[in-house]
Every structure is written in structure tokens, then in C-alpha cells.
């Protein structure tokens, strides 16, 4: 990948131009990080809106077409869909099933199961199932 940085003429607006054949998930993640004003997300809890830092989220899960953000002590609901949050989330978030994204910084232990799946034990001792399809990606990331 080639990176070129040029200074714009006086008075011109700064811009970023991306030339690519395909938009890979990594490129999409970088573009979303550039667009995002900060590393936070707004979610609701009990009717009130809360500004959360991605670093405070243990995992993100979709249940019955609703998206939930799990913190240490509370569960928040987000308006975004799972794939949108996956694109916004920092690189230390990884999909572990069709409906779950986990914060790798919050994984305490990884336990393999006999069926080829695995289970992640988080810092708060909560257990999250990892689909067999995603186990190898998780092992590489850890």
C-alpha cells in the first residue's frame, strides 16, 4: 500500500482521497476511525442516553433485531446494527459469532470445548460462546 501526503493550497479544505480496488474490512475500519469524532458511542439505558467509550464495553450482541452493549455493570441498547458497530469499533473488537463482537482487551481466559467451539471468560467472569467458525481468528488475534 502506498501512502502519499500533500499539503493543500492556501485556503483549500483538507481532504483524504482513497484509491482502492476493493474496500476490505481493514480499510473500512480505518475510514470509520478517520470519520469518527471520538472513540465513543451513544446508547440508551432506562430511557436515558449515555455516552460510552468502546474501552468500557465487554461485548456487543444482537438479540431479536436489537443491539446490546454489555458493560461491567449495565447493559445498554444501541440504535446501530451489529455490522455498523463492527465498522466503528476499534481494532481490538473481533466478531466471534454471527450475533456477537467481543472486546479482546476484556478476555481473561479462552476455554476450548469438545465440539470445536470455545468460550471466552471476560474480566467480570461472564462467559461468552465463540462459534467454531471464528475460533481460529480469535486465537490469532490474542
pLDDT in tens, 17-61: 888 888 888 887 777 767 655 578 899 999 899 999 999 999 999
Distant-in-sequence contacts of 16-19, Cβ < 8 A, 24+ apart: none
**3-state DSSP call for residue 1?**
coil
SS3 33: helix
Output the pLDDT for position 106: 94
The mean-pLDDT minimum among 5-9, 11-15, 30-34, 88-92 falls in: 30-34
pLDDT of residue 33: 67
Residues 25 and 28: their CA atoms lie apart, in Å, by 5
Q: What is the pLDDT of residue 91?
A: 83
CA distance 37 to 93: 18
Q: Which of 35-44, 76-85, 119-128 shows the lowest mean pLDDT across its residues?
A: 35-44
**pLDDT (tens digit per residue) in 18-27:** 888 888 888 8
Average per-residue pLDDT for the chain? 88
Q: How confident is the model at residue 141 (pLDDT cuts 50, 70, 90)?
A: confident
Contact 56, 71 (CB under 8 A): yes
Task: Please state whether the predicted TM-score (pTM) of the whole model is above 0.75.
Answer: no
**C-alpha torsion sign, points 121, 123, 125, 127:** negative
Under 8 Å between Cβ of 135 and 118:
yes
Amino acid at each position: 500500500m502506498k501512502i502519499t501526503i500533500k499539503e493543500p493550497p492556501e485556503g483549500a479544505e483538507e481532504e483524504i482521497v482513497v484509491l482502492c480496488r476493493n474496500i476490505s474490512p481493514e480499510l473500512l475500519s480505518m475510514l470509520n476511525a478517520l470519520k469518527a469524532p471520538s472513540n465513543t458511542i451513544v446508547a440508551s439505558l432506562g430511557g436515558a442516553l449515555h455516552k460510552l467509550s468502546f474501552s468500557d464495553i465487554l461485548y456487543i450482541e444482537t438479540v431479536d433485531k436489537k443491539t446490546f452493549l454489555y458493560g461491567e455493570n449495565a447493559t445498554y441498547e444501541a440504535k446501530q446494527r451489529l455490522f455498523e458497530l463492527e465498522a466503528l469499533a476499534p481494532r481490538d473488537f473481533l466478531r466471534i459469532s454471527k450475533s456477537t463482537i467481543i472486546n479482546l482487551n476484556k478476555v481473561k481466559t479462552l476455554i476450548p470445548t469438545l465440539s470445536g467451539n470455545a468460550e471466552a471468560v471476560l474480566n467480570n467472569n461472564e462467559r461468552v460462546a465463540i462459534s467454531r467458525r471464528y475460533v481460529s481468528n480469535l486465537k490469532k488475534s490474542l
